[in-house]
Amino acid sequence: METNVETHVDGRLQSLIEAAERGERCPDIYVLVGSWVIQGLPVSTAEFMNITYGDYYRQVADTRDARKLSRNPDERDRLISQHLAPYMATFGNGGPQDGLALSVAHASVSGSTGPILHVPALRVPIGAVQSWWSAGFTVDQNRGYNGGVAVGFAF
């Protein structure tokens, strides 16, 4: 595995992030971050922002209040976009720092226990990545589990 010694970033991961930022087609990726496994498609920061905006838009448009805004779809679109503008502005403008995180679209996030989260898009700071791979994986269902039996006596 190639590593950039100066920044302690895996060179292959950095290359994948740069390709995604250029808008190139990338393979699905699996990333270990703490006790979480994140799976999804690497995308550019711009695409992350587009997906995020689209999901915010969907959430607002699905509300009863949004449906009451206007019968005209173009006018409703303008009003929803106007409502979302300040929220989207909080993300700031893009810059060289965009490449310091991996943007993942259509992400599944799973831990050792609990539900799997399906996230439209997320970003993982590259410094948080503990391990990653692009090929699939299998789960060994036949793995033996240790069990125990406790017996107590009271006299």
Q: What is the pTM of this model?
A: 0.79
* CB 1 within 8 Å of CB 13: no
In a domain, 140, yes or no: no
Using the predicted structure, report yes or no on whether residue 29 has a pLDDT greater than 60: yes
Instruction: Give residue-wise pLDDT tens across range 108-148.
Output: 999 988 889 999 999 999 999 999 999 888 777 776 555 54
In a domain, 112, yes or no: yes
Number of domains in the chain: 1
- C-alpha radius of gyration, the chain, whole number: 22
What is the span of the domain harbouring residue 14? 3-133
DSSP, residue by residue, 106-120:
EEEEE-SSSPPEEEE
pLDDT at 112: 80
In a domain, 155, yes or no: no
End-to-end CA distance of the chain: 62
Task: Provide the total of helices (H) and of strands (E) in the chain, helices listed first.
Answer: 4, 7
In a domain, 127, yes or no: yes
In a domain, 7, yes or no: yes
In a domain, 150, yes or no: no
In a domain, 102, yes or no: yes
Instruction: Give residue-wise pLDDT tens across range 47-98.
Output: 999 999 999 999 998 888 887 887 788 888 899 999 999 999 998 887 767 7
> Which domain CATH number covers 115?
2.30.30.100
In a domain, 142, yes or no: no
